Amino acid sequence: MAQTSKVEGVVQIDGTPAERTVRAFGYGPTAHLINGEPVNLSKSLGSATSDPDTGAYTIDLLGGYGSEIFVVAFDDYGDAFTAEQALTAGDRIHPTTPNEHVWETTGAGTLPAEEPAWVVDTETAQLYGSASMIAKPFYRPMVQGPILPLASDLAELWTPAQTGTTVWFDLDDIEGYTVDAAGGITLVTDKSGNGHDLAQDTLADRPTLRQENEKVLMSSEAGTRSVSTTENIRAKGPVSVSVAMITDPHGGGGNYEMLWQIGDFFNHSVARYNRSDRQFLTAYMNGVNATPGTEFLTYSNAGIPLHVLTVILDPSVAQSHHINGVEISSSSEVFDGDAVDEILTLFDGSGLSSAKPFHGAIGEFLIEPVALDAESRQIREGYLAHKWGIAADLPDEHPYKDDPPVIAVETGPSPSTSYSSVILADNPVTYITFDDETADDISGNNNHAALIGNPITGNVSLVGGDNKLSVTLTGSEFIDLSVLAGTLSVQYTIEAWIKTTNGSTGEYGLALFSAHSSSYSNILRLVHNNDHLSLIKENGAEYDGAIIINDSQPHHIALVASGTDITVYIDGQADIALSESIVLDSAAYISVGQEYDPSGPSDYFQGTIDEIAVYGSSLSPQAVADHYGARNLGAPV
């Protein structure tokens, strides 16, 4: 079974669960053809509606998508005002001029003939025409990401990268080709790594791009286009060859249209398309007697835009030809392949006097230097059919009718089921979740912190999943971590999640993390300074970050000291870096949410704090990114 994946979370507005449409998008771009130009866009991978009582949602991602995504929660903007429109209870209307509100129908009726003056009253319904309606705040879309999906039935999808292709052209890969100013394809890059690129130097002969099933293909609609490799792709002589491709053949230029050929004149293999009866022909020319080896006219493709075509040549045994997984012909005719050259050409009919240029398109094209067995052929068919959206055209008995082919992989441990399991796997010396409304350590090391003052506990967690609660500091509270005195030295990591809108500063900013000596001398301070973070050394030297944090969004903060340098990460990205060490051997007072002046606590952080973890080692950049990415396990959007 192929990999399945999902993303889960909770939608909240001001801490209250909300019903919203939630949609997931891929960070990785896919190629789209817009006005004849290839454009990189993120792919929509699925959607769901959050539960109105809990705000929870689950999105099953398209095709078991396993790379990073972002999730967008959309409010219901309703319909534009339309004169005399009939409304029922629950219908929403937004005004022609946006004003951050929509009007929801509480009593059925008809809108007036002219747009009314909309009354922004969220407590009392008003009559608009004969419809009773009440103003509702409209919340702009909220985005969370990047998020790593939860995957199950882990398996890696098979691609041609797992095999020894001679050539591999993929027009749906936007980096797989270049075009000129007029949209003509000048180069198609060989993804096999063998350097067998396709090229066309003549402007008038260059194929163009077109789209089918949201995929990009190389087209020869004019019937005068072609591309060729600049070097031989295989050795002379009776060598096995297998070809698999996505093609859209539809004729238009006469019989015997040439789709592809290897070699020149009568020493080539060619798949052709007969326009008159809308059937494929496959011919292999014998290099000894210069007569056609075989011709097949057995398959009608009327009304079907895309096909998976496979051709298997075994010079010592047989030839076979399949379309969409169905065998259309086989032959014991020997293809000797004794060619003078073995250049690959697409769309050109010059190799045969009776052949015509091809009318149609190619999306993906593979050549392998072996005669594939049935199982291997079906893997290629399944890969191409699912990728190009035509799996439904495979026969019911095809092994990859329902799921694309996969390969066995070493997956290591199963994906973590909670944010906490990701943190605990890296062995923190203390880990405080606030889920029990205390600052107790759940790492097993009994390094319990203390809540000083009366911070607000019981708030919804900033990461979700099994992590349920957080703590809010209002300007006179902090978390005392002095229990860690003597446990940290030159290598350490301090991380937490924060959310704040505060922009005011103390003399040196509002302290997020601080370490002081027994005489309260400064050793290290990480402060919220205006809209960013600043790192302040013992001597007062200050290093400012650039990433904005006071935007009312959850942010993952990690300060990593390696012994030779210090890096502060925000949401997995390095924000502050200096090439020196700050040693905490003498730190007697360690806290989150304030810094000590000799007279006592000061410069209190204001905002929500969650998931404080401290390590006696320096986390790698990948580990920091993994911790940040693990927040999707129930993270509110």
- Candidates 476, 445, 421, 487; CA nearest to 630 is 421
Q: Distance between CA 208 and CA 36 in Å, rounded?
A: 9
Q: Distance between CA 310 and CA 320 in Å, rounded?
A: 8
Three-state SS string over 227-296 comes to EEECCCCCCCCCCCEEEEEEEEECCCCCCCEEEEEEEECCEEEEEEEECCCCEEEEEEECCCCCCECCCC
User: Identity (one letter) of the amino acid at 162?
Assistant: Q
- 16, 243, 318, 379 from 333: Cα distances, Å: 73, 17, 6, 25
Residue 28 has pLDDT above 70, yes or no: no
What's the pLDDT score for residue 495? 97
Computed over every residue of the chain, the mean pLDDT equals 79
Residue 596 has pLDDT above 90, yes or no: no
pLDDT band at 505 (very low <50, low <70, confident <90, very high): low
Question: Is residue 250 within 8 Å of 360, Cβ to Cβ?
Answer: yes
Please indicate whether residue 418 or residue 11 has the higher confidence score (pLDDT). Answer: 11
Residue 412 has pLDDT above 50, yes or no: no
Q: Tell me what the mean pLDDT of segment 406-435 comes to.
A: 72
Q: What digits encode the pLDDT tens for the residues 382-408?
A: 999 999 989 999 999 999 998 888 875
| Low-confidence winner among 134-148, 257-271, 623-637 (lowest mean pLDDT) | 257-271
Please indicate whether residue 235 or residue 412 has the higher confidence score (pLDDT). Answer: 235
Residue 46 has pLDDT above 60, yes or no: yes
Q: Distance between CA 191 and CA 289 in Å, rounded?
A: 36
pLDDT band at 18 (very low <50, low <70, confident <90, very high): confident
Each domain of the chain, given as residue ranges in start order, spans: 4-75+142-155, 79-137, 160-407, 419-632
pLDDT band at 278 (very low <50, low <70, confident <90, very high): very low
The DSSP output letter for 438 is S
Instruction: Report the DSSP pairing between strands 555-561 and 450-452.
Output: unpaired
Q: Tell me what the mean pLDDT of segment 504-531 comes to.
A: 81
Half-sphere exposure of residue 409: CA atoms within 13 angstroms, side-chain side: 16
- 39, 285, 335, 561 from 613: Cα distances, Å: 42, 71, 68, 14
- Enter the tokens of residue 626: 């993994």
Q: Distance between CA 525 and CA 247 in Å, rounded?
A: 62
Q: Distance between CA 75 and CA 102 in Å, rounded?
A: 10
Please indicate whether residue 240 or residue 196 has the higher confidence score (pLDDT). Answer: 196
- Enter the tokens of residue 251: 């004729």
Verify cis geometry, omega within 30 degrees of 0, for the bond prior to 52: no
- Candidates 373, 405, 360; CA nearest to 212 is 360
User: Identity (one letter) of the amino acid at 495?
Assistant: E
* Three-class DSSP category at 423: helix
For 419-632, CATH gives 2.60.120.200
Q: Let me know if domain 160-407 sits in CATH 2.60.120.200.
A: yes
419-632 and 160-407 share a CATH fold: yes
The DSSP output letter for 339 is -
What's the pLDDT score for residue 350? 55
Q: Tell me what the mean pLDDT of segment 245-253 comes to.
A: 71
State how far Cα 185 lies from the chain centre: 27
pLDDT band at 299 (very low <50, low <70, confident <90, very high): very low
